[in-house]
Structure 1
């Protein structure tokens, strides 16, 4: 049975990085890595600009709400003045 047992193992030598790849495979891996890097940068940039646009929209909404409030308060003052005028004419 001793002839079925494995022999002594040789220590494995570390191979240089990428030695198993051909030159074309290395080029493809570099191209894929650069494309992935560009896509990640594009996504981060798009998220930043979307947040910036949302801030601008929020500021415009706040200005619009302030204008509506101002117009509403002016409208109420005009209605009160008209009521005073009506009351004044009723005195005569």
Structure 2
């Protein structure tokens, strides 16, 4: 289940890399739902023969944090995640401001 992976991500230092096909599928779901920010990479050398893919999770979004809380994850377990979410939010704000200045 994708929520199990989201809990594992929340308990791990970020960025975190994943290569198991099952984890990659779950990460695609979490990323599409806006719960995590992930980068998906096909390993060109081995992708032709084995279909190997990798993914790197760079952050859990605010929405992902809300889902973890709604799923019963205690706030004490989410302290480190919260700081990552705040950093991502601040970076997003800075990018938006920079785009506004460049127009």
TM > 0.5 fold call: no
| More helix as a share of residues | 1
Q: Which has the larger radius of gyration?
A: 1
TM-score, length of structure 1 as denominator length: 0.30
TM-score, length of structure 2 as denominator length: 0.27
| More strand as a share of residues | 2
